[in-house]
A and B are shown apart, each in its own frame.
Chain A
């Protein structure tokens, strides 16, 4: 036994046969992490498309709009598949409730999907250009909201590792949004051979990686007990991989103009890092709900 272990004996607490106090979330893999990833990708891609339009980069406009629409549709499919009654998805729109991030998020997702599909359709067909531009402008508002709200979605639960991370999670998700959109930009440029527009994607990757890894660093630095599942176990391991992948992806992106292979590898690392972070968050939440010590010791410590 190391000296450190001797100094910090395992805290004693009682439980009911070691059973969870909370219900372990019904949200599954890959649905939840996939939804989080696709939602943030769609959100940032929409903003990227608008920014590309404003700065005269037509190639990136098309990429941003098409990726935003496709990712929103795929994300909505994962979300719907998570429902116990998928045919009742539209019941989400019976009400609008400020206390329910899922209610707010459903309204955001539905508006964002409509706007991005219209913008993408206009871009692909070349029809109704002004309408497409207006829809895209709208999606530049819904996009950041779509990427950020899942932080509240997860935090507004009784799950200790999620609830306690309401500062970090939205930043992690919008940082991931930027790196995911950068990955899309880099990959499309490499595949089409049109390297003219890689520099915004490179800068997007750097900015996103700073935000995403910053949020991961905030999670890892925390010493409160309920943050433990971000340091140890599968959640902790995945979070470390995620950070390494995101950082190396952003750096490798700088070589994108010289090497298409580097551009593709960078895109894969950026996307993989973002996805791994979403799995890490899911697993940390599951672990913190499953082991009653996180509930008992954190609440017993409350004055």
Chain B
């Protein structure tokens, strides 16, 4: 434990969790939504590799939310591709010129009667493998653990389904399977990592929208990509979860977005709940004292 165990930047997240020096480098995902084509290969590869059940497989579930019929991350959906349709006057088309420079050109796209075109945002969401993970902090059984790779996983043989993690995750990621009674979420393919392979979703992604690698290297890659987009005039582009100074100490899985986080169903500025835990215990101590004092007052003086 170090001074920043609950909150703030943490250089060596596995070391803080007790792994001795020489443990692997922290790994992560950089999901660049600007090149996502919405093919859902990541969702399929994840389900296949991890054998995720679909209790409603017989039902045709249509949400009416564009091409998104997965709807949200959950116990059986560890990657979720969001589809957002936005009415815009023009759609920007990105391409590279002969020198490999990113250039932007405007296309009217298919406009409707009012002259509006539709811009499609697509983004593959996943567990953020937070530096300060609320789920892990609150788990009373020790089922949720930090791995040697700096990721966060649930041990199914330990979890008793108390569902505390479900309420503690600021991203609404982890959930309990009601038929099985335990909590489940993305493991960043822990089994594949141990075997030296990249996670199934990153492997399957045909556009490299999902990039896997050392987290420090991914942050550099992402900054370069962001600068390139800004230079080409895509000013709405922003990184999400890449900052070790943010409320969760930076995400192990971070994103490049083209609009506000909430448009994608992401919280704008989440803070790990445990940041305020010392203050919470102090108020609880005060309240416990008030109880004792209340009884003392009520019984003051021996029986008349």
Contact = CB atoms under 8 A, between A and B. Distances in A.
B158 interface: yes
Interface string B290-302: 1110111111011
A158 interface: yes
Nearest to A157: B167
B281 A152 contact: yes
A174 B262 contact: no
B263 interface: yes
Interface residues of B, number: 77
B139 to A, nearest CB: 6
From B65, B180, B264, B297, residue with most partner A Cβ within 10 Å: B297
Interface string B62-89: 0101000001101000000010100000
Contact of B159 (A51, A85, A102): A85
A258 interface: no
Contacts of B177: 84
A145 B286 CA distance: 10
Given A16-B82, A47-B295, A55-B303, A156 B269 contact: no
A166 B298 contact: no
A207 B164 CA distance: 32
A157 B280 contact: no
Interface stretch (A69-77, A125-133, A223-231, A293-301): A293-301
Given A102-B162, A158-B270, A203 B297 contact: yes
Contacts, number: 258
A302 B284 CA distance: 25
B168 A149 contact: no
A211 interface: yes
Interface in B16-44: none
A95 B142 contact: yes
B193 interface: no
Interface residues of A, number: 84
Contact of B262 (A15, A89, A207): A15
B68 to A, nearest CB: 8
Interface stretch (A23-31, A116-124, A233-241, A263-271): A23-31
Given A26-B176, A88-B161, A170-B287, A21 B171 contact: yes
B162 A82 contact: yes
From A15, A25, A157, A158, residue with most partner B Cβ within 10 Å: A158
Say what secondary structure dominates the interface of chain A: helix
A15 B261 CA distance: 9
Contact of B302 (A16, A56, A106, A181): A56
B198 interface: no
A208 interface: yes
Nearest to A164: B276
B257 interface: no
A159 B167 contact: yes
B176 A204 contact: no
Given A55-B302, A152-B277, A158 B169 contact: yes
Given A23-B169, A157-B138, A295-B267, A200 B298 contact: yes
A92 interface: yes
Interface string B241-269: 00000000000000000001011111111
B289 interface: yes
Interface in B166-186: 166-178, 180-183
Contacts of A149: 284
A68 B3 CA distance: 40
Contacts of B183: 84
Contact of B270 (A19, A156, A299): A299
A30 to B, nearest CB: 16
Interface in A249-300: 289, 292, 295-296, 299-300
Given A15-B262, A84-B162, A156-B276, 12 more contacts: A15-B265, A16-B262, A23-B167, A26-B175, A55-B303, A82-B162, A91-B158, A144-B288, A152-B284, A157-B164, A181-B295, A295-B262
Interface of A: 13-17, 19-23, 25-27, 43-44, 47-48, 51-52, 54-57, 82-86, 88-89, 91-92, 94-95, 97, 99-103, 105-106, 140, 143-145, 147-149, 151-152, 155-159, 162-163, 166-167, 170-171, 173-175, 177-178, 181-182, 197, 200-201, 203-204, 207-208, 211, 289, 292, 295-296, 299-300, 302
